[in-house]
């Protein structure tokens, strides 16, 4: 009888470690997707030299292809920050050398068992943009 209890305990312990491992892998994959989306948004902003209608259309098309959607409700943000409901924000920052942009994407972590839900930001910046072919938004 004692060996049967030990075997059951080992199976439960193995299942707990399996759940923890799968949870960490899911977090890593979600972080990687948010990081990849942030890098592509930065590439589009640098390619089109600023934020314009063309840039925003390209970003929206990419987000549809990448299957990236975070239910984002913007809280208090700066006046230079524009947050979009698809889960990313773009901040325009002026410097003496030109203009650059700070991009923030989010990935969501949910623990329904504990009723926890929070968003983790992933941030990056473009290079300084000195040529403006289209008017910025």
Q: How far apart are CA 48 and CA 54, in angstroms?
A: 8
Q: How confident is the model at residue 134 (pLDDT cuts 50, 70, 90)?
A: very low
Helix (H) or strand (E) holding 120: strand 116-125
User: What is the pTM for the complete model shown?
Assistant: 0.81
Number of H helices, E strands in the chain: 2, 4
Which structure tokens are listed for 73? Answer: 């409700």
**Per-residue pLDDT reduced to its tens digit, 30-40:** 899 999 999 99
- Of 26-30, 59-63, 68-72, 125-129, minimum mean pLDDT range: 68-72
So where are the chain's domains?
2-125
């Amino acid at each position: 009888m004692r060996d049967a209890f030990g075997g059951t305990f080992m199976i439960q312990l193995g299942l707990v470690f399996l759940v923890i491992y799968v949870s960490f892998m899911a977090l890593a994959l979600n972080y990687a997707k948010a990081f990849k989306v942030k890098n592509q948004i930065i590439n589009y902003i640098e390619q089109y030299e600023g934020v314009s209608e063309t840039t925003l259309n390209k970003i929206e098309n990419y987000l549809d292809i990448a299957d990236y959607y975070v239910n984002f409700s913007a809280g208090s943000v700066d006046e230079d920050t524009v947050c979009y409901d698809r889960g990313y924000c773009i901040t325009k920052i002026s410097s003496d050398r030109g203009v650059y942009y700070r991009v923030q994407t989010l990935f969501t972590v949910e623990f329904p068992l504990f009723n926890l839900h929070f968003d983790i930001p992933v941030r990056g910046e473009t290079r300084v943009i000195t040529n403006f072919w289209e008017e910025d938004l």
